[in-house]
Amino acid sequence: MNQANRNLIKLYLIPPLIFLFIITIYPFIFSFYQSLHDWLLYKPQRTPPFVGLKQFITIFTDKDFWMALERSLIFLILVVFCSIIFGLLQALVLSNDNIKGKNVIRSLLIVPLVISPVVVGFAFRFMLNTDLGVIPWFLDQIGIHVPRILGDPKIALYAVILVDIWNQTPIAFLVLLASIQSINPELYEVAAIDGGSYFQCFRYVTLPLIKRSIIVILIILSIDAFKAFDIMYVMTEGGPGRSTELMSLYGYRIAFISWRMGTASAFALILFYIIVGITTYFMRHTQGVSIND
């Protein structure tokens, strides 16, 4: 590669680097600066005093933060695990060439993916309404009486989790379906000749070959679940009480209800490092995955 081509490549890299700095690097640096100052949005004329790590200490000593973290972990584990399981089952069934109308079924299964999360939240909020909702009515018909679903602190979080599973499962379904269909059919023929059953073929052929795809889905869904906001906010706004307040809603309350932007910036950095830690954990395990595992 001659010098002219190198200079041309550097020239092409300048616009994306500038864009990256504007939307990513500068906000991160500014957030770190804010986290070290007591900036109150309702006092714009006040010069924010330097407080060091006080904002981080405030968050770590706040019991609401730990409760939000616990709920977020419950939300993450259930949504990610169930979405992958349901997506894998759907992919296994619809990868069978003998199923009639599978293209139509595939299209129907990915409908939740193309609907805006805000629309999903409003739709299920209406369907879960005690007086008008179809879901409480259906539960009454089969003998299960739940007076308030979204109004009950004990079950509201799990109701929203089920909605998010419905919304996230198509992502896992599409990725795993593509991964399963990329497997060489001859491998199954060899396994069948050796007397392998369907479950043995799944365990020793399918599962090892889609491990990487499963880990990719784990990373994507984990990040998405940890920063989940829209569906939860529309359906419950973190209530009743704070029984459905996840990490994102906790940060929203600090920033745009209490207007403590310094504390909110510190929280944003904490959330960032938690997500980075989860992603790094899965990425390291991805590097150790091989087809022969």
Kindly list the structural domains of the chain, giving each domain's residue range(s) and its CATH number in brackets, ordered by start. 67-287 (1.10.3720.10)
pLDDT at 95: 87
- Of 251, 250, 249, 278, give the one whose Cα is nearest residue 264: 251
Is residue 130 a contact partner of residue 136, using CB atoms and an 8 Å limit?
yes
Cβ neighbours of residue 86 closer than 8 Å, sequence gap 6 or more: 165, 169, 172, 173
| pLDDT above 70 (res 127) | yes
pTM score: 0.88
Task: Please give the Cα distance from 182 to 212 (Å, whole number).
Answer: 13
- What is the mean predicted confidence (pLDDT) over 196-211? 88
- What is the mean predicted confidence (pLDDT) over 78-105? 90
- As given in the structure block, the two tokens for residue 65 are 């933060």
Specify the length of the chain in residues: 293
- As given in the structure block, the two tokens for residue 250 are 């906790």
- As given in the structure block, the two tokens for residue 128 are 């879960």
Which range, 10-19, 157-166, 180-189, is most confident? Answer: 157-166
pLDDT at 293: 45
Provide the pLDDT confidence category of residue 155 given band limits of 50, 70 and 90.
Answer: very high
